[in-house]
Amino acid sequence: MFLTENKIIILLIISFLIILNAIIIYSVAKNKKEVKIFFIPIIIFHVFTMLGLVYILLFIMFIGVNS
């Protein structure tokens, strides 16, 4: 499978997004005054991160089936 390197890169990008998501949530939890400004972007970001996690799980299952 020649896409293995691309899959690893995608997994790294998604894991980086998850870490970034956690940092954003932590900083917003510290500054509760600014929650209203960040609320909608965080929801959108969360949705994309969850889709990324689902994609990772499907990927792992797909790799398991192929090997």
Question: What is the dihedral sign for C-alpha 24, 30, 35, 39?
Answer: positive
Checking if the pLDDT of 59 tops 70, the result is yes
pTM of the model: 0.42
Q: How is residue 29 written in tokens?
A: 């939890």
pLDDT tens-digit map of 9-58: 777 777 787 777 777 777 776 766 665 666 677 777 777 777 877 877 77
Q: How is residue 57 written in tokens?
A: 């799980």
Q: Which of 25, 67, 65 is nearest to 45 (CA)?
A: 25
Q: What is the pLDDT of residue 2?
A: 53
Q: How many domains does the chain contain in total?
A: 1
Range of the domain at 12: 4-66
Q: How is residue 28 written in tokens?
A: 């917003």
Whether 18 and 52 have beta carbons less than 8 Å apart is answered as yes
